[in-house]
């Protein structure tokens, strides 16, 4: 393990600005602690002198600004920008407990979305309970209260139109807050990583994804290639396979699937994604993905650490995102402990 001082020296030698050192790329969806601001004095490191001090100040990454906003922007609901470069005005919270769902990882404060997304997640949970044999859904991340880039995980989920749904069924009791932090989701993959485990994957999983894809507002669904393969095989003889075109393979996504909805009406600055190809996606694209995921991951090449990826700054987001950040209070007013739960639940 390298000491912080040695690591810092390596990064400075490689031309890496100090303020960015804590934000090196991490695998998507890996929870990490919030990137701390480097305090040279507290870290016991020598102060940086001369040249580095005179260097142009680095703009604060937008993820720090949006990550610090604890409340929604009190404006009309609007998704602004692109799924991976934007923000959210007038976000609403998915209640942490519903008749057919429970929200997970509450400490992240990412159960916020455009009202149309929140309504769709609620409908999916109710429909799945009523028709697809689900006891209820465990819901992962939607967006931050004002959307925007996040301190950890996801590149998308920025405009309040993306939601992660766990493939683990909801338990029949209410989970405690701690359980919602600690409970692990179940991977659907078999040991070969190119097929689902028949002891875990069920017809109900396929029904749930199909149901989500059947909603008109749903634009894309991302699943692991092995799950896409399972869906292609299970529906090979079905006359209606059009919905399969919305379900596209993606890295990860074997513990949960990702639902993305279209730009809502009225979100004039929302940037749509090109429609998926019309075919079912069960051909060459899937074969190529399966070949990719079947390869063992490459070991890290030796040498100094890679420079961090450039961070999205506020200037790079749509101009309206400044107003989203600036409107109303960004931190919740203190509430007495006894009523905190009721406030959070809606
Ligand atoms: Zn996602």
**Domains of the chain, earliest start first:** 72-294 (3.30.1380.10)
Å from CA of 76 to ligand 1 middle: 25
Residue 3 in this model has a pLDDT that exceeds 80 = no
Å from CA of 12 to ligand 1 middle: 34
Å from CA of 335 to ligand 1 middle: 31
Å from CA of 154 to ligand 1 middle: 7
Predicted pLDDT of residue 335: 65
CA-based torsion, 290, 296, 302, 307: positive or negative? positive
Å from CA of 44 to ligand 1 middle: 39
What is the bridge-based pairing of β-strands 247-249 and 218-223?
parallel
Neighbours of 235 (CB within 10 A): 17
Residue 46 in this model has a pLDDT that exceeds 50 = no
Helix or strand or coil: residue 321? helix
- Quick one: pLDDT band at residue 208, thresholds 50, 70, 90? very high
Q: What is the pTM of this model?
A: 0.79
Å from CA of 259 to ligand 1 middle: 7
Å from CA of 45 to ligand 1 middle: 38
| Separation of alpha carbons 10 and 254, rounded Å | 36
Å from CA of 262 to ligand 1 middle: 15
Å from CA of 256 to ligand 1 middle: 8
Residues with CB under 5 A from ligand 1 (ion): 164, 258
Q: What is the pLDDT of residues 137-171, one digit of tens each?
A: 999 999 999 999 999 998 999 999 999 999 999 99
Å from CA of 328 to ligand 1 middle: 28
- Quick one: pLDDT band at residue 338, thresholds 50, 70, 90? low
């Amino acid at each position: 393990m390298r000491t912080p001082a040695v690591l810092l020296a390596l990064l400075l030698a490689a031309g890496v600005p100090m303020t960015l050192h804590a934000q090196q790329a991490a695998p998507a969806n890996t929870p990490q602690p919030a990137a701390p601001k480097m305090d040279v004095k507290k870290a016991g490191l020598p102060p940086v002198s001369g040249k580095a001090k005179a260097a142009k100040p680095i703009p604060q990454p937008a993820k720090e600004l949006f990550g610090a906003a604890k409340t929604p922007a009190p404006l009309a609901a609007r998704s602004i920008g692109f799924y991976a470069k934007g923000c959210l005005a007038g976000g609403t919270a998915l209640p942490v407990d519903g008749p057919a769902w429970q929200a997970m990882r509450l400490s992240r404060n990412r159960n916020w979305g455009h009202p149309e997304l929140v309504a769709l997640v609620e409908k999916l949970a109710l429909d799945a309970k009523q028709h697809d044999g689900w006891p209820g859904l465990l819901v992962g991340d939607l967006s931050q209260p004002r959307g925007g880039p996040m301190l950890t995980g996801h590149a998308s989920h920025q405009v309040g139109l993306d939601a992660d749904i766990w493939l683990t069924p909801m338990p029949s009791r209410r989970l405690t807050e701690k359980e919602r932090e600690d409970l692990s989701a179940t991977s659907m993959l078999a040991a070969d990583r190119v097929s689902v485990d028949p002891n875990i994957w069920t017809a109900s999983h396929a029904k749930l994804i199909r149901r989500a894809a059947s909603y008109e507002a749903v634009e894309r669904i991302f699943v692991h290639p092995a799950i896409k393969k399972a869906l292609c095989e299970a529906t090979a003889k079905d006359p209606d396979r059009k919905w399969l075109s919305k379900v596209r393979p993606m890295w990860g996504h074997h513990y949960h699937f990702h639902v993305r909805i279209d730009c809502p009406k009225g979100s004039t600055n929302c940037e749509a994604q090109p429609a998926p190809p019309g075919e079912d996606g069960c051909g060459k694209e899937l074969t190529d993905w399966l070949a990719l995921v079947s390869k063992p991951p490459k070991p890290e090449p030796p040498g100094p650490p890679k420079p961090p990826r450039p961070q999205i700054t506020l200037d790079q987001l749509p101009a309206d995102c400044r107003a989203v950040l600036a409107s109303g209070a960004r931190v919740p007013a203190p509430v007495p402990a006894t009523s905190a739960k009721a406030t959070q639940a809606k």
